[in-house]
Amino acid sequence: MPIEVVLLFAWMLVIAFLAFIACTFEDLESDMGSQSNPNSQVQLAAQVGQVNRFFNKAISGEPLSNALYCVTAGAIAWILLQQLEPLVPGAEWKAAVLAIPIGVLGAVVMNVIFSTTAHCGRTAAMKRFEQPIYLDVLYGHLMPIGAHAFMTTFCITCIAYIQSNLGTLAGNPALNHPFALPLLGFVWGITVGSIGSSTGDVHYGTEREFQDRPFGEGKRVVYHGKITRYASCGIRTQRDIAGFCAKFGGPCTGMTFGLIILFTNWTTLVGMQLGGFLPNLPAFTAIGDMAAIWTIVLGLLIVAALAVGNVIFVKWVRKKCGPFVGV
C-alpha cells in the first residue's frame, strides 16, 4: 500500500489506544469525586442521618462536565497553536507539544474550581442534617481528582488534535476532519462522559457503595441512602473507592470507549479502502458513494455481532445464576 494509507491506519490505532486510556481515567475521576448517578446516594445519605466523609462533587452530569474540560483544553490549545504554528513552519509538532499540555492544565484548574464550589455548596445546604465540611476530605481529594482529569483530558485533546489533522499527518490535507479542534473536543467530551456515566458508575454504585450488602442482588429501595461508610480499617473516603473500582469498572469503561472509537473509525477507513477511494480521494463520485455503502454495511455487521453476543451472554447468565434465592 502507498505510505499514506498505512499512516492513516496507524494513526487510527493510536487514537483507539488513547481512547481506551481516556475513558478508564474518566471513570476513575468520577469515582474519585463521586459524580453523577451514585452521587444521589451520597446526597441522600446525609438526609437519612448517615453523616459521611465522602467528597460530594455535584457538577451536573459527566457528559457536560467532561465536555467542559475538553472544550477548555481544546480552546486554549487551539489559541496557542494559532500563535505558535507560524513560528515553526514544517515542524508543527513542536507547537503541539507545548500547546496541548498547557491547555489541559487550564482544564484541570477549571475542574478543581468547580469541584470545590460543588462540594462546599452542597454541604452548606445540608446544614440541618448536621453534615460538616471536613477540610481534610476537601483538600485531600482535589489533587487526585485533578490528576485523573489531567489524564482524561490530555488523551481526548490528543485524539481531537490527531483527528483534525489526520489528513496532514498522513500526507493529504483533504482527509482532515471538517470540525475544528474545540468542537471535536466538545463532541468527544460529551461521548466519553456519557459512556463513563453509563458503564463505570454501575460498578461504583451497585457494588462498592453498598459493599456491606449481599453480593448478587440489585440494591433494593430500602437500602438507598445507607451507604457503606466504614472501610476495611477506619472511615471510608473516595480514595478507598477509586482503588477498588480501578480493578474492574475502570478498565471495562475504557474498553467500551476504545471499542467504539475503533469500530467507528475502522469502518470508515476500511469502507474507503474497499470502495477504492484511497489514495486518490475522488470525492462526490460513485466511488465516494461506494465507500459510504461499505462503511454502513460493516457497521451493521458489527451491530449484529454485538446483538448476538448480548443474547448469548444474557442466556448464559440466566442459566448460571438461576432464579433469585434469598429473602
Residues 15-74 that bind another protein (CB under 8 A): 36-38, 40-41, 43, 49-53, 58-64, 67-68, 71-72, 74
CA dist., res. 296 & res. 7, Å (int): 23
State yes or no: residue 105 binds another protein (CB under 8 A): no
Stretch (H or E) spanning 185: helix 181-195
Q: What are the angstrom distances between the C-alpha of 149 and each of 24, 30, 218?
A: 11, 9, 30
State yes or no: residue 306 binds another protein (CB under 8 A): yes
Min. distance of Cβ 226 from another protein in angstroms? 9
Site for another protein in 125-164 (CB under 8 A): 125-136
State yes or no: residue 179 binds another protein (CB under 8 A): yes
CA dist., res. 298 & res. 267, Å (int): 6
Site for another protein in 197-256 (CB under 8 A): 197-207, 209-210, 215-222, 224, 229, 235, 248-249, 252-253, 255-256
Min. distance of Cβ 90 from another protein in angstroms? 22
**DSSP notation for 285-322:** SHHHHHHHHHHHHHHHHHHHHHHHHHHHHHHHHHHHH-
Nearer to another protein, 83 or 168 (CB): 83
Nearer to another protein, 150 or 277 (CB): 277
> With CB under 8 A as the contact rule, which of the stretches 13-21, 94-102, 147-155, 283-291 interacts with another protein?
283-291
State yes or no: residue 182 binds another protein (CB under 8 A): yes
CA dist., res. 84 & res. 81, Å (int): 5
* Residue 230, strand partner residues: 235
Query: Per-residue x/- marks for another protein, 72-91, CB under 8 A?
Result: x-xxx-xx--xx--------
279 preceded by cis ω (within 30°)?
A: yes
Nearer to another protein, 58 or 151 (CB): 58
Using DSSP's 3-state secondary structure scheme, residue 59 falls into: coil
